[in-house]
Structure 1
Amino acid sequence: MTYKTLLVHIDDSRHSAARIALSLDLARRWDAHLIGLYAVCTELLPGALRQIGSRPFAELEGRRAGLLQKAHDSFLAAAERAGHRSVEWRAPRGPAPEVALLHARHADLLILGQDDSRDAASYVAPNFVGNLVLDAGCPALVVPHAGSVQALGENVLIAWDGSREAARAVADALPLLENARYVTVDIVQPADGARERPVGIDVAAWLDTHGVTASFSTRRAHIGASAGATLLSRASDMHIDLLVMGAYGHSRARERVFGGVTRTMLESMTLPVLMSH
């Protein structure tokens, strides 16, 4: 199993170049076709309106065209430096969330960036990344905005709860797991919950049939700490460079409600997270 079509989200933020570099590295790893999808916020937010003031909208459109051209040139230049020829640039018109979702459904793996409230250029739409993760129908690798990714997929932590989402995430992560040096399956139980049998042994046995040797452990969340925080702490202690987990959420009226661990990861991740729903 491998990923043959990767899609990386490109925007005007300072984190976009790092995502492109990572996606090119992964594309070379699997000899995959890489699509660069340029999708940015097209709405005029109140702050933007104040900055524009009396300037004509033609000037705004010119600035947008300049940013698009810069992103286009940067993407193709990065691909040329990396020596990867199978790349494709896309900058479709239309509302970014709908456009991104349409193109995401024709990829094997998405490479997305964690929202960064300190970088206005990273804003696309409310819950842009989370909605793509839940609705795209394919796995998404979400890259944290803090720090840099030096290695990916050498030491992997699987968050396992026996759910459909977790099973989907593990299956979707197989191309990475098959080449990992170390894989561990973690089950985080509530601090005050009853102990259950170590269900991680089941997924570890299944992974073994795919040539992936995995250890497993069951641990309780620290008193007052969420399961998500416990997983991040565990990943840090073990020098994990990739977390694999199922993503949870549902729509309530017009609001997207994310599961607790999913929300924690989207807001506080400190390492790349592969999510599937």
Structure 2
Amino acid sequence: MPYKTLAVILQSTEDTRRVLDSVLPLAQAWNAHVVGVHAEPYPVAYSAAVGFPDVTVIEAAAEAAEERTTEIEALFHGQMRAAGQSHEWHASRSFSGDTAYAGAALARTADLVIVAQRNPDWAADDASGVEGVLYEAGRPVLVVPHSSPMVRTFSRILLAWNGSRESARAAFDALPLIKEAESTEIFVVDPPAEGEDVEASASCLAAALSRHGAEVVVATEQSRGRHVDEVIRDRATAMGADLLVLGAYSHSWLRQLLFGGVTRTVLQSMQVPCLMSR
């Protein structure tokens, strides 16, 4: 079943064109409806030297927020209408001003959420809240890389697998894409010698996906002292992957210790589109 409702998180003018250029080909290929989401912060009551709220500063902040919203909305409607794309727009205010957090409720009603990876050259105020929507929405999130080209179709998919609930969720959330891909590789890093047989579960997953008509193989690799995120990145490059599918891990100290670095690296620096689920 293809994705029919796409929630697009538009946090700044810098990421809007990039995300929309990536979303439109996918939406048209899937005959999907696109929901644009943007949030701005409530004005903060700054105090002047005499202790009273500085009305001038508050008004300036409100005007800037309104201008940003108007500009992003115009870009969204302009590209959608020019393409004849089914769409709708939602703008809101929140205390954080983070569109990812504020848009979580709308994102929960979509088949797929699409958001830009944060560009490290942007100002801190434009930091992407990918983690917010990833952990709060309960929906798969497609992260658009900030620099690499976004393809129109995903033909070679790398699915990182460790047998966890999160990686299983990601695998089946990505099923519409896996079914259409030319090939999908289920990739296991450092399969344990004892205990849970991750390689066996990878083979079972491959069989399950194959029953949907997907072309799937299983591969394993030892990290040999390298970080897992480095192994995954190198594998994606070596196989020419145009999509990485990965489970995202919560902020508990144990999961952060074991897996958090991989999630963070993907969100910050992976150079191919990434579909992540939690």
Query: Residue 94 of structure 1 corresponds to which residue in structure 2?
Result: 94
Partner residue, 2:223: 221
Q: How far off is 1:57 after superposition? A: 2.9
* Aligned partner letter, 1:245: L
| Whole-angstrom CA distance in 1 between matches of 2:261 and 2:149 | 25
Partner of 1:11: 11
Q: Does 1:60 align with 2:61?
A: yes
Shift of 1:7: 0.4
- Give the drift of 1:15: 2.5
What does residue 167 of structure 2 align with?
Answer: 166
Q: Does 1:112 align with 2:138?
A: no
Q: CA 1:32 to 1:82, structure 2 compared with 1: closer, same or farther past 3 Å?
A: same
- Alpha carbons of 1:19 and 1:228: their partners in 2 closer, same or farther (altered >3 Å)? same
Instruction: Kindly tell me the number of residue pairs found equivalent between the two proteins.
Output: 260
* Aligned residue type for 1:77: G
Structure 1 residue 276 displacement after superposition: 0.5
CA RMSD, 1 decimal: 2.5
Deviations 1:117-172 (A, max 9, x none): 32125326xxx211321221110001121222134411110001111111111110
Q: Secondary structure at the match of 1:39?
A: strand
Q: Counterpart of 2:127 in structure 1: which amino acid?
A: Y
Q: Match of 2:199, SS?
A: coil
Deviations 1:158-193 (A, max 9, x none): 001111111111110011111111211111117xx6
Q: Is the Cα contact below 8 Å between 2:41 and 2:65 reproduced in 1? A: no
TM-score relative to the length of structure 1: 0.85
Distance 1:158 1:271 in 2: 13
Which stretch shifts more, 53-62 or 33-42?
53-62
Answering whether residue 124 of structure 2 is matched by residue 123 of structure 1, we say no
**Deviation, structure 1 residue 43:** 7.4
Could you tell me which amino acid in structure 2 is paired with residue 102 of structure 1? Answer: A
TM score, norm. by length of structure 2: 0.85
> For residues 162 and 56 of structure 1, do their structure 2 counterparts lie closer, same or farther at Cα, with a shift above 3 Å needed?
closer
Conserved 8 A contact 1:13-1:122: no
Contact 2:101 2:133 in 1 (8 A): no
Q: Distance in 2 between matches of 1:272 and 1:98?
A: 21
**What one-letter code is carried by the residue in structure 2 that aligns with 1:30?**
W
Q: Percent identity?
A: 35
Alignment correspondent of 1:204: 206
Q: Is contact 2:43–2:61 with CA below 8 Å preserved after alignment?
A: no
Q: Provide the rounded CA distance (Å) in 2 between the counterparts of 1:186 and 1:197.
A: 10
Shift in CA distance, 245/197, structure 1 to aligned 2, threshold 3 Å: closer
